[in-house]
Chain A
Amino acid sequence: MSRNAVLKPIVFVACLASAVELAVEFFRSSLGPDPVATLQHQTGMTTLVLLFVTLAITPLRRITGLLWLVQYRRMIGLFAFFYGTLHLLTYVVLDQSFNLDAIAADVVKRPFIFAGTLSFLLMVPLALTSTQRAIRRMGKNWQTLHRLVYLSAAAGVVHFYWEVKLDRTQPLIFAWILAALLAYRVAYRLWERWRRTSPAPTAAPAE
């Protein structure tokens, strides 16, 4: 069996696990004293984690040389969007009971709601252009567009940071990881440029 045939279902199930767990606990009434808060926190957390996994894939494959890792990036990214949608729904349905006026007022008035909304909206074009056809048709623009994922992740971290009452340990951990991932990209870019411009005697041709 090919690696993909084995790994793909595993990655799929791993991504879905959090939602299944929440659904099971929901029907067993074991989400704790404030089930809505648990749903909200868990879906938000999973969104961020999966977004970060997609961001970590490029550095990981460069460092480890496991080029095939990228095959799972789209699926994980779409799952991030899926959890982000669930997270948004808990707010729209359970917190605001579909009251669109109240939601609009909230988005404008509350920086943390604004940041969360921004994070979600930035994921929408990425999810829509995730098909093979879109990738082919958009060519170089696809990559440019999909750099928005960094903005989405940053907005998500800010959303988390502004939401917590006092103990900012967790959002700060996300912030540091995000900074490290960005720093890696910048360092890689600089290194690439330096390698290309430096007069190396046996300059390898570009990939």
Chain B
Amino acid sequence: MFIRKKSGSDIPYSEVTPKSLYMDRRRFLAAAAGVGAAALAGDKLLDLIHPGASAHADTRLQYSKSQYSTTEKETPYQDVTHYNNFYEFSTDKDGPAKLAGTFHPLPWTISVDGHVKNKMKLDYDAIMKLAPLEERIYRHRCVEGWSIVVPWIGFSLNNLINKVQPTSKAKFVEFTSVYRPSEMPGQRTNILDWPYVEGLRLDEAMHPLTMLTVGMYGQTLPNQDGAPVRLTVPWKYGFKSAKSIVEIKFIDYMPETSWHRAAPNEYGFYSNVNPHVDHPRWSQATERRLGDFFRRPTLMFNGYDQVAPLYTGMDLRKWF
């Protein structure tokens, strides 16, 4: 088990009391009482009775270090959690941090279906047990021209893929994010077609760098960063790393992804980080690491050259 706790008993992750609750119980109770609003207090009370149903962000995880980590300086936690593109909540960078408190990441289920031998419905505990957790410090490059360095926690997605065994028909993998307009105010607008859909070619999904991510900075994912389970594909622009995934489907056609649907000439299916292929409206040659004042050159495949063989013989201008 990967939980740090005094006893050795094997309890599921969904039962682990979030740190904010056990650290701060007194203040929490006082706040809940002080609010007065019956509905709100009731909601908070429910959380106390049934911890884990919300306030997910900060359960400590145990993990090993990974050979895939960069030695670059990590972006501060505060910045990574307060500068998010998560249109399900808001199109403002600081919006998701403010609005994601209403989201309940647990309980959670991911359906794995399509062209696979073993279709599965995985609950949160099953996901956490798919493979040993690793911390991987990856560069993360947004299509908008900024970048961060994040210590993600999770494991290679191929652990899951090997378990479900795709058939020969499976060529692509489609990832569907959660659709809960009642908890995600951005989904009450039609800024994108909901739910959010992303996709990878099967060999991209199988690449060991592609992560199924459940945490960052030593703890479970905060809501605004895609709790409880997201994808991390470090050589592609950030929007390819779908958040809060509820369905993983193996299909024989290239899936229509959300950003491609919104602006087909601006966001291609592949969306590999590529300093030589500009966004139609802005250059991708440089990026600004959050906190820096000057821009730095953007690296091909975001510096993950080991993925280059996936694209041998492909015209990356055409398949942008």
Contact = CB atoms under 8 A, between A and B. Distances in A.
Contact of B281 (A37, A95, A112): A112
B293 A33 contact: no
A111 B281 contact: yes
A33 B144 contact: no
B146 A94 contact: no
Interface in B270-291: 281-283, 288, 290-291
A36 B288 CA distance: 9
Contacts of B191: 166-167
A106, A110, A165, A166: most-surrounded residue (chain B CB, <10 A): A165
Contacts of B82: 32-33
A33 B80 CA distance: 8
B83 interface: yes
A95 B295 contact: yes
A83 B292 CA distance: 22
B286 to A, nearest CB: 8
Interface string A98-116: 0000000010011110000
Interface in A76-132: 94-95, 97, 106, 109-112
A94 B293 contact: yes
**At the interface, is chain A mostly helix, strand, loop or mixed?**
helix
Nearest to B148: A33
A72 interface: no
Interface in B64-102: 75, 78-80, 82-83, 87, 91, 93-94
Contact of A110 (B192, B262, B281, B290): B281
Interface residues of A, number: 19
B263 interface: yes
B146 A37 contact: yes
Contacts of B79: 33
Given A32-B82, A110-B281, A167 B91 contact: yes
Given A34-B146, A165-B144, A166-B192, A106 B290 contact: no
B311 interface: no
A106 B295 CA distance: 15
Contacts of A94: 293-295
Contacts of B83: 32-34
Given A33-B83, A33-B291, A166 B262 contact: yes
A109 B284 CA distance: 13
Interface in B2-35: none
Nearest to B85: A165
Given A95-B295, A166-B192, A166-B262, A106 B144 contact: no
Contacts of B146: 34, 37
Contact of B91 (A35, A110, A166): A166
A106 B294 contact: no
Contacts of A166: 87, 91, 191-192, 262-263
A36 B144 contact: no
Contacts of B294: 94, 97
Nearest to B286: A95
Interface in A44-87: none
A162 B300 CA distance: 26
Contacts of B80: 33
Nearest to B75: A33
Contacts of A111: 281
A35 B263 contact: no
6 contacts: A33-B290, A34-B146, A34-B290, A35-B293, A94-B294, A166-B191
10 shortest interchain CB distances as A-B pairs:
A33-B79, A33-B83, A167-B91, A33-B290, A34-B290, A94-B293, A167-B191, A112-B281, A97-B294, A34-B146
